[in-house]
Chain A
Amino acid sequence: MSEQKVIMGNHALSYGAVTSRVQVIAAYPITPQTQVVELLSEMCADGTLDAEFIKVESEHSAMAASIGASAAGARAFTATSAQGLALMHEMLHWAVGARLPIVMGNINRSMAPPWTIWSEQTDSLSQRDTGWLQIYASSNQEVYDSVLIAYKVAENEKVSLPVMIILDAFFLSHTSENVTLIDQKDADRYLKPYNPKYRLDIKDPHTFGGLTGPDWYMELRYKIQKAMEDSIDVIKDAQKEFKEMFGREYGLVEPYRCEDADTILVTMATAASTSKQVIDELRDKGEKVGLLRIRFFRPFPYDEVRKYLKNSKKVIVLDRNLSPGAGGIVFQEVKSALYNEPVKPKIYGYIAGLGGRDITVNTIGKLFDDAKNSEPADIKWMEVKI
């Protein structure tokens, strides 16, 4: 029987790992991720979850342990945030090159210094080029469901890549919401045990990752890109099957009132939930506005982005992140996706909510106002005290 539970986003990750029957967990504590692993530790201790839990001495080791376990053929899970994710960077590349379907939760937190623990996406977006699939969630239910979907996609032989499930610090990680937990029997029908074609197998010994020269390294990279491209259909199938079995629908993106919209706001994670209220209010006033929430940032959903945006007049990108010297990271991607379209909307890049500053209904209202009455620019700062 499925079960309703009021849980925080962090625990939604933990329950997702339990329902996915993860076999090895390796994690290191960091605010605001700690509850994810605390709950999993308890569940391993009391037998709710039959998994090996390695209480590692750093995030770098958390990822290395996950890599070892996954290479041995086990389903591996970890979670981290900000500095921890940055420390893992080398091993994030390793997981991709070794083609290991690890799933990791990352709680978006701003990078230090100065010390900070509040939400911002620059930590995970800095890992954009490692080759991890990235899901940005906007509700606890989505966090929980995404863990199962992530393993299903990652372990598909066409993909064989790791997946990061990303949630905003505090806005989601520590906010309690009603979550429907899937019955284990149904979950087991959806997500079969991990059974890789190749692993570190004592009966069929192979070496993985030996020295490769310029003669074939490029082809191995080509394969990763191909796997990312192929993952689009794998994700669609996995989410379709998920909907058929559990009733909840997910896309690569989530369009909201985009049909006939002149102005479309593009953003990720919880800022999208807040934006819906503003869209409704503006629609009530007769303004043709819509919202496109990007759920999968990697692989980047080029087709969906083009489909929903190309007929609009203005696109507003709201970035809770910053690539200093360039601007918002989602903005750059959206802009480049539309560059070859024969008729292009104007694109506005807004930076807001850095370091966990609230992105309120007011913030988003102002942003629509500004775009209505100004020319586009690559970077516009919202509510910065200058």
Chain B
Amino acid sequence: MKRDGKKIIFEKESDLPPNAMSLGTTEFNETGSWRNERPVVDKAKCISCGICWKYCPDMSIKEDSEGKAEIDYVFCKGCGICAAECPVKAITMIEEEK
């Protein structure tokens, strides 16, 4: 068995756990590529309320050094919940350039 970053590469039968047991996490799967629109945080407006973090189904809201919301674009699928729920409209959805 080889690992390529977070990817697991089986080469032959003996690499596999017989009971189909997991050996890694879904972090290999960079779901940011699913996005049609990206959320952009206006840090000046952000009041650090944590609502966007709380409601993110993809754990893609982080806290920056000043306690403001920061998007993890590696995994953010662009659902737009954060922008819709932000009480001060600090997050806007912008079309992805593909």
Contact = CB atoms under 8 A, between A and B. Distances in A.
B88 interface: no
Interface of A: 97-99, 160, 198, 206-210, 212, 216, 219-220, 222-224, 227
Contacts of A206: 21-23
Contacts of B20: 97-98, 208-210, 212, 220
B13 interface: yes
Contacts of A160: 18-19
A219 B12 CA distance: 8
B16 interface: yes
Nearest to A215: B10
Interface residues of B, number: 11
B19 A98 contact: yes
Contacts of A207: 21-22
- Please give me the 8 A-B residue pairs with the lowest Cβ-Cβ distance, nearest first: A207-B22, A219-B13, A99-B19, A206-B21, A223-B18, A99-B18, A206-B22, A209-B20
Contacts of A227: 18
B24 to A, nearest CB: 10
Contacts of A98: 19-20
Interface in B1-57: 10, 12-13, 16-23
Contacts of A224: 18
B51 to A, nearest CB: 30
A220 B20 CA distance: 8
B16 A198 contact: no
A198 B17 contact: yes
A378 B17 CA distance: 42
B10 A216 contact: yes
B14 to A, nearest CB: 9
B21 A220 contact: no
Given A209-B19, A219-B12, A224-B18, 14 more contacts: A97-B19, A98-B19, A99-B18, A198-B21, A206-B23, A207-B21, A208-B20, A212-B20, A216-B10, A216-B16, A219-B16, A222-B13, A223-B13, A223-B18
27 contacts: A97-B19, A97-B20, A98-B19, A98-B20, A99-B18, A160-B19, A198-B17, A198-B21, A206-B21, A206-B23, A207-B21, A207-B22, A208-B20, A210-B20, A210-B22, A212-B20, A216-B16, A219-B12, A219-B13, A219-B16, A220-B16, A220-B20, A222-B13, A223-B16, A223-B18, A224-B18, A227-B18
B19 A208 contact: yes
A216 B20 CA distance: 10
B74 to A, nearest CB: 22
A101 to B, nearest CB: 11
A274 B4 CA distance: 63
Nearest to A219: B13
A97 B18 CA distance: 8
Residue of B13, B18, B22 with most partner-chain A CB within 10 A: B18
Nearest to A71: B19
B3 to A, nearest CB: 16
A151 B23 CA distance: 28
A208 B21 contact: yes
Nearest to B16: A219
Contacts of B10: 216, 219
A220 B22 contact: no
Interface in B66-92: none
Contacts of A220: 16, 18, 20
Contacts of B12: 219
B71 to A, nearest CB: 28
